[in-house]
Amino acid sequence: MTIFKPIDEKKASSRVKKLFKRIKKERKINFIPNFWKTIANDPDTLERTWESLNQIMKKGALDPLTKELIYIAVSMTNSCEYCIRSHSASAKKKGMTDKMLKELIAVVGMANETNRLVESYQVKVDEFLK
């Protein structure tokens, strides 16, 4: 009841249809994943999110694969299953191997542990880090 349903490509408004077309073209896919179909309930959010993601995830000083790994690390820390799955799929397309994903998980687990050690022991910032 309270959930927004994914917007069907055929029943979408012309603004959303155009955005779906762009997504399929630029991502080289022939269907729209549920994330985009669901946030399409708010066309402003759909457009803004698509444009922001494109600007942020494109090749820069960091390559697109490294950016995907960072994305996955955040999603794991936030326990977002959909995000972990969809960005792992994107990362695999860009060259992530199973071994890389396992190492990524080990780092994410360890960072979450030491983050809490730091807070629990209330470690002071060293002078050389200021």
Report the site for a copy of itself in 71-100 (rule: CB under 8 A).
71, 73-86, 88-89, 92, 97-100
Do residues 41 and 35 touch, judged by C-beta distance below 8 A?
A: no
> Based on CB atoms, which residue is closest to a copy of itself, 13 or 34?
34
SS3 content of the chain, % helix, strand, coil (to 5): 70, 0, 30
CA distance 111 to 97: 21
The answer to whether residue 103 forms part of the interface with a copy of itself (CB under 8 A) is: yes
The answer to whether residue 13 forms part of the interface with a copy of itself (CB under 8 A) is: no
Cβ contacts of 35 within 8 Å, gap of 6 or more: 82, 86
CA distance 83 to 88: 8
What residues between 38 and 57 interact with a copy of itself by CB under 8 A?
38-39, 41-42, 44-45, 48-49, 52-53, 55-57
# binding residues, a copy of itself (CB under 8 A): 78
> Based on CB atoms, which residue is closest to a copy of itself, 18 or 58?
58
The answer to whether residue 35 forms part of the interface with a copy of itself (CB under 8 A) is: yes
